[in-house]
Amino acid sequence: MVNQAPSVPATQTVTLTVNGTAVELQLAPWTSLLDALREYMQLTGTKKGCDHGQCGACTVLVNGKRINSCLTLAIMQEGNSITTIEGLAQPEGLLPIQQAFIDHDAFQCGYCTPGQICSAVGLMNEGHAKTTDDIRELMSGNICRCGAYTNIVDAIQAVMHPQPDKL
Ligand code: FES
Ligand code: FES
Atom of ligand 1 nearest to the CA of 59: 2
Q: Which helix (H) or strand (E) holds 3?
A: none
Identify the residues whose C-beta falls under 6 Å from ligand 2.
Answer: 107-113, 144-146, 148
Query: Among 47, 55, 144, which residue has the most ligand 1 atoms within 8 Å of its CB, making it the best to mutate?
Result: 55
How far apart are alpha carbons 58 and 49 in whole angstroms?
7
Q: Tell me, which fold does domain 12-87 have in CATH?
A: Ubiquitin-like (UB roll) (3.10.20)
Query: Among 146, 150, 154, which residue has the most ligand 2 atoms within 8 Å of its CB, making it the best to mutate?
Result: 146
Q: pLDDT tens for residues 71-104?
A: 999 999 999 999 999 999 888 899 999 999 999 9
Q: Which ligand is nearest to the CA of 52?
A: 1
Cα dihedral across residues 112, 115, 118, 122: positive or negative: negative
How far apart are alpha carbons 77 and 45 in whole angstroms?
19
Cα dihedral across residues 61, 47, 86, 38: positive or negative: negative
- pLDDT band at 167; cut points 50, 70, 90: very low
Q: pLDDT tens for residues 11-54?
A: 999 999 999 999 999 999 999 999 999 999 999 999 999 999 99
Residues in the chain: 167
Helix (H, G, I), strand (E, B) or coil at 33: helix
Parts of the chain belonging to CATH 3.10.20.30: 12-87
Q: Which CATH architecture has domain 96-162?
A: Orthogonal Bundle (1.10)
Indicate if the pLDDT at residue 2 is higher than 80. no
Give which of 97, 148, 81 is closest to 136, Cα–Cα. 148
Q: What is the pLDDT of residue 163?
A: 63
What separation in Å is there between the alpha carbon of 124 and the centre of ligand 1?
21
Q: pLDDT tens for residues 106-134?
A: 999 999 999 999 999 999 999 999 999 99
Pocket flag, ligand 1, residue 56 (CB < 6 Å):
yes
